[in-house]
Amino acid sequence: MSDKAIITLEGRQYEYPIIVGSEGEKAIVTQKLRSDTGYITYDDGYGNTGSCLSDITFIDGEEGILRHRGYPIEQLAKHSSFISVAYLIIYGELPTAAQREVFRERIRKEASLHTGMNSMFNSYPTRSHPMAILSSMLNSLGCYYPHMASNNREQDIEHFDEAATLLISKVRTIAAMSYRAEQGLPFVWPRKDLRYTANFLHMMFSEPYDTYEPDEDIVEALDLFLLLHADHEQNCSTSTVRMVASSGANMFASVSAGVCGLWGPLHGGANAAVVKMLMEIDRDKDDGTRFIKAAKEGKARLMGFGHRVYKNYDPRAKILGRAVERVLVNLGRKDPLLDIARRLEQEALNDDYFVSRKLYPNVDFYSGLLLRAIGIPLDMFTVMFAIGRMPGWIANWREEAMAPKQKINRPRQIYTGPAKRDIEDV
């Protein structure tokens, strides 16, 4: 195969290098295109644009493959934990038992928040969306650690390990407090004896007069949920983190922006949108047929279906679909929404509209049902996604911050407004 791409423009040929990733993905390097030719590439929505080189996550959307640092997601889900996968994503290798203990201990020690933050939580009106609180509080968190959030690249990198464990730990405390602030409930402090996921459930659901003792099945299911969300290469929120980081901004500011990118219903907000959709279908006493028809006519969108990269079943959706069933059986419960979801899935997978467009269940199709089974309130679904995605954002911030190029990310545009005109004399 030629290692050059030849582009012909206005009768002249230009040669551009080709690069090949470790799994064989190919790209044309067009950095000099504009200076050579005056042309730029136009790729609305960035479906064909590689914005970085990355060692973290590999996805083959056609085959439904997801690997972190080379390890298939199915193996990680079966044999690992959220904390070990967070370590893998950030540092490149699964931790040894000793490394895991040190990492856990550092996370454990960072669980509480400066009391100054309490008054900030209390100043939000009740019913504020916890995603809005989470984003602002993550950025504010940097104000309490100015030496880690200096916007001096060398200094921020020097404090990277500290800032990474601090963010992984405190995002969970902030998330729980955002919920309690939204509900007007008193804050519950973390416990030293509980591990990461159980501690989160304690901070969410314990009361000063009544300690919540999390069920092992629930802790395991939530840990799996977090693990499956830990990274997903250059999605909307992670690209946002890298975009912000490329300006030299610190990690707190960058992940706070990532939370905002995640919030929308076409991205992380889809987990709540799926459950709302299933509730509406249930309320309308539809067996799913009417909804599928409306989706095909463009009058509705089948939330949790379709993906920019996957043109096959999202491997995380398969694992989550099985996990919801397992949790419900273990808890001795049934969820009519799961039956509706299964029916919608069957209808869609046998319908030419969805088949021809390669629309399959994505991670959000079953994740909301899992959170619902665990007892997480609907408004917190996307916040849970953000807790899970924190290691991925951190690892991508680091790659961006340590990239040899140190170049700001700054796309161009094709201007389509009015051509030059002059103000008329009045």
- How far apart are alpha carbons 16 and 38 in whole angstroms? 15
Q: Contact at 8 Å (CB) between 65 and 315?
A: yes
How far is 408 from 393, CA to CA, in rounded Å? 18
Q: Is residue 362 a contact residue for ligand ACO (CB under 6 A)?
A: yes
Size of the site for ligand ACO (CB under 6 A): 20
Rounded to a whole number of angstroms, the minimum distance from the CB of residue 358 to ligand ACO is 8
Among 56, 73, 226, 302, binds ligand ACO (CB under 6 A): 302
Q: At what angle do helices 82-91 and 381-402 cross, to 10 degrees?
A: 20
Among 214, 304, 388, 392, binds ligand ACO (CB under 6 A): 304
Does 225 sit near ligand ACO (CB under 6 A)?
no
Q: What angle do CA 47, 228, 392 make, to 5 degrees?
A: 60
Considering the complex, state which of residue 199 and residue 382 has its C-beta at the smaller distance from ligand ACO: 382
Q: Catalytic one among 231, 267, 307, 314?
A: 307
What is the maximum alpha-carbon separation in the chain?
79
Nearest by Cα to 225 from 257, 261, 201: 201
Closest CA to 337 of 349, 350, 321: 321
Residues 271 and 280 sit within 8 Å (Cβ to Cβ): no
What does DSSP say about strands 12-20 and 65-68: parallel, antiparallel, or unpaired?
A: unpaired
Interaction residues for ligand ACO, span 272-301 (CB under 6 A): 295, 301
Tell me whether residue 113 or residue 262 sits nearer to ligand ACO (CB atom): 262
Site for ligand ACO (CB under 6 A): which residue of 20, 40, 102, 266?
Answer: 266
Interface residue with ligand ACO, options 68, 307, 372, 389 (CB under 6 A) = 307
Does residue number 242 form part of the binding site for ligand ACO (CB under 6 A)? Answer: no
102 is a contact residue toward ligand ACO (CB under 6 A): no
Asked if 308 touches ligand ACO (CB under 6 A), the answer is yes
- Least separation in angstroms between residue 148's CB and ligand ACO is 28
- Tell me the two tokens of residue 33: 């295109």
268, 288, 368, 392: residue in contact with ligand ACO (rule CB under 6 A): 268
Q: Which is nearer to ligand ACO, 303 or 394 (CB)?
A: 303
Locate tokens 């899992």: which residue? 370
Give whichever of 100 and 308 is closer to ligand ACO, judged by the CB atom: 308
8-state DSSP, 147: T
Q: Is residue 202 a contact point for ligand ACO (CB under 6 A)?
A: no
- The residue range among 65-73, 88-96, 358-366, 389-397 that interacts with ligand ACO, by the rule CB under 6 A, is 358-366
**Whether 202 is catalytic:** no
Question: Catalytic residue at 147?
Answer: no
* DSSP assignment string, 193-246: TS-HHHHHHHHHH-BTTB-----HHHHHHHHHHHHHTS--SS-HHHHHHHHHHH
Binding site for ligand ACO (CB under 6 A): 45, 235, 266-268, 270, 295, 301-308, 357, 359, 362-364
Residues with active-site annotation: 307, 364
